[in-house]
Amino acid sequence: MTSYLNALGLVCPLGDTLEGVSRALFNGDSGLQPQSHWIADKTVPVGAVTVALAPLPASVSAFDNRCNRLLHHALQPILPAIKQALSRYGATRVGLVLGTSTAGILEGGLAIREGQSAAQAYLAQELSSCSRWLEQWLGLQGPVTVISTACTSGARALLSAQRLLQSGLCDAVICGGVDSLCHLTLNGFDALEAISQVPCLPLSQQRNGINIGEAAAVFLMTREPGPIALLGAAASSDAHHMSAPDPSGAGAVAAMRGALASAQLTPAQIHYINLHGTATPHNDAMESLAVAEVFGGRVPCSSTKPLTGHTLGAAGALEAAFCWLSLSSYNPERRLPPHRWDGNADPALPTLTLVDHDTRLAPALAPRLLSNSFAFGGNNACLILGATDA
């Protein structure tokens, strides 16, 4: 059963409107900026959201933190669609599935640094805070879930939302991902020697690590036909290592092939791949090998992380949103997100067809786009979005 993504709200380093984000995305503009207050004695590029974020409404102020403010901001343009779904289906038939990895860690760390009791602001810090305030604020009575599978969280939220619709438990599901910048994640990745002190370069011979970003991307998914659908989705777990991917790419291959099977598509029917593309040596090597195994080198590919940074638990939803924008009326020229890098290909990696500023979607009746997300612990998730005739 096809599920439709009939409303999208987002905020990220490229902006907070669908028009503005589309413009920056297809121009290949980067939202990375150097900041020095995250890691001691280092200035690193980060994908920070720069628009003003209002506090949460008074009725849910106990849950106020930056992560939830990002979510609240992203939700504003789709609130009418959400309220319409609640009115049409009833509160028990509307679900909520969100992916996150940071939640209120930023505020918890600041509280400890300032000598405050972390317990005093627990509601704003716990992992489920992003769903609890929204459940209360909207009066939801359907299934409510938070997924935290590191960098696949946002993608798996969409996969789980689709299953809620397929199972008949819901008629509409609010789904997506949200994460904010915080000291813990930046210093943690720095301790792993995975943070680049320059803008990241996916697939380059000079790649040396990631940049971290923040974002919120939220969809309203229903069975009601619309112009953009989630055609297929799949996940796998190779459990090769706590942080490093299986170098053979077997788990990634399984997830991509599973998504194709779910959508009843062949590799030849995919017109673009949004790569996970973190610019770490191991991830890029694994992913390029896996993509080459499933698709060869023919499908246009790009990583959008040089534009936004790696938004961690939000990344899977944000990059699905970029595919949504590529398929939407906000992209009348049928452009694809360009691969922003130095052009210095790593000869040790399989050759992929990377998107440049002149690349356009093939003149297919119904384009189909794949978004890859891979995470610590060998957790893999792939989504296929497509334009419909609706």
Point out the residues that are catalytic: 151, 276, 310
In whole angstroms, what is the distance from residue 191 CA to residue 187 CA?
6
What b/e string do you get for 81-105 counting C-beta neighbours within 10 Å, with b at 16 or more? bbeebbeeeeeebbbbbbbbbbbbb
In whole angstroms, what is the distance from residue 102 CA to residue 180 CA?
7
What lies within 8 Å, CB to CB, of 307 at 6+ separation is 13, 14, 24, 25, 28, 29, 30, 31, 32, 47, 337, 340
In whole angstroms, what is the distance from residue 111 CA to residue 107 CA?
6
Task: Centre a 10 Å sphere on the Cβ of residue 364 and count the other Cβ atoms it contains.
Answer: 12
| CB-based contact 376:242 (threshold 8 Å) | yes
Q: Which two tokens stand for residue 82?
A: 């959400």
Helix, strand, or coil (residue 165): helix
Task: Centre a 10 Å sphere on the Cβ of residue 190 and count the other Cβ atoms it contains.
Answer: 18
Measured CA angle at 66 (ends 28, 199), to 5 deg: 30
Q: Which two tokens stand for residue 84?
A: 């319409």
User: Half-sphere exposure (CA, 13 Å, Cβ side) for 337?
Assistant: 34
In whole angstroms, what is the distance from residue 190 CA to residue 3 CA?
39
In whole angstroms, what is the distance from residue 263 CA to residue 239 CA?
25
Phi and psi angles of residue 99, each rounded to the nearest 5 degrees, phi first: -110, 140
Helix, strand, or coil (residue 185): helix
Phi and psi angles of residue 114, each rounded to the nearest 5 degrees, phi first: -90, 5
Helix, strand, or coil (residue 325): helix
Residue 181 CA, chain-centre distance (Å), reads 14
Residue 8 CA, chain-centre distance (Å), reads 13
Q: Hey, what amino acid is at 231?
A: L
